Amino acid sequence: MPFTFRFTGSVIAMALALSPLSGLAQTSKPAPKPKQPAPQGQQAQPKNGAPVIVELKPEPAQHDWTKVCGKDDGAKTEICYTTRDFVTDKGQRIFAVAVYDAKGKKAQKSVRILTPLGFLVSPGIRITADKGRPVAGRYATCLPHGCFAEAAVKDDVVAALKKAATLNVSARNQAGTVITFAVPLEGFGKAFDGPPIDPQVLAEQQKRMQDELQKRSEELRKRLSRRSINPGPVSATDAGTPQPKH
C-alpha cells in the first residue's frame, strides 16, 4: 500500500478485521427491498429519517494523537501524518483519522478517514471542524472491513482543526439517513505541530495495540462460543452496538 494510504502500519486494518462490522459500501443505487441490519457503529434509523450522531472516543491503546513522518521516494517529498484510532462509547473500534501534510514542491494537505462499511459511495463525506464550514470529501477505496475517504484541505481548515473540539464526519447510509461521527480533537494541534514519533517508539506502540486487539478478539470468540451453547436474547451492550444521540 502506498505511503499516502498508510496510517499506523497494520494496526488499523487489524482493528477493523477484528470488529464485527456488517454491510457493504454501495453506489447510489436503491437498496434491495428486504430489510437489512444497519452496520454496526450505527443504530436502527428513526422513521422520520432524522440525522444520527455517533459519539466517538479515542482507542484506549493509542494514548494520544501520533505524528509519523517519512519519505515518498517517488515524489521526493517528505510526508507527515497525524493520526488516531477511535471507538464507540461501547468500545467498538470503527474509525480512524489521519491529517496528511506533504512538504516540497507539491505541498498539499488532506484529511483521510477510515470509516465503517454500509455508506453510499456517491455522496461521499463531509467534514466540519465544530460548526464551521463543511468540506466535501470522496471515497477512494474500500477493503473488506472498511472504506478510505479523503478530502483535500487548505491551511485554514487545518488551523480550524487545531482549535476545534470536535471533527464532525458525515456520510449517508443505505437508508438515506445522514450519520455524523463526532471525533474528539483534544491534543491534535500539539501533535500536528510537534516532532514526529521515534520509529522504535511507534513499533512498540503498534505491538502493544496488536496484543490488546488479539486479547479482545479472543474474549469476543469466547463470548460467542458460550452464546452458541446457551442461546438467549442478545442485548445492545453484548452486541457492542453504540447508542447514537439524536
pLDDT at 233: 52
User: What CATH number did the domain enclosing 121 receive?
Assistant: 2.60.40.1880
Q: Distance between CA atoms of 38 and 21, rounded to whole angstroms?
A: 10
pLDDT at 195: 93
Would you give per-residue pLDDT tens digits along the chain (246 residues)? 333 334 333 334 333 333 333 323 333 333 333 233 334 444 444 455 678 999 999 988 777 899 999 887 776 788 999 999 998 877 777 899 999 999 877 789 999 999 998 899 988 999 999 999 999 999 999 888 789 999 999 999 999 999 999 999 999 998 889 999 999 999 999 999 999 987 777 777 667 767 776 777 788 788 888 877 776 554 434 434 444 454
Q: Is residue 167 domain-resident?
A: yes
Q: Is residue 145 domain-resident?
A: yes
pLDDT at 192: 96
Q: Is residue 125 domain-resident?
A: yes
pLDDT at 180: 96
Q: Is residue 68 domain-resident?
A: yes
pLDDT at 46: 47
pLDDT at 55: 92
Contacts of 237 (CB under 8 A, 6+ apart): 90
| Count of C-beta atoms within a 10 Å radius of residue 77 | 18
Q: For the chain, how many structural domains are there in total?
A: 1
Q: Is residue 102 domain-resident?
A: yes
Joined grid coordinates for residue 149:
475517504
Buried b / exposed e over 198-213, threshold 16 CB at 10 Å, is eeeebeebbeebbebb
pLDDT at 239: 38
Q: Is residue 34 domain-resident?
A: no
pLDDT at 61: 74
Identify the domain containing residue 56 by its residue range.
Answer: 3-24+40-197
Amino acid in position 89: D
DSSP 8-state secondary structure symbol assigned to residue 35? -
Q: Is residue 175 domain-resident?
A: yes
Q: Is residue 205 domain-resident?
A: no
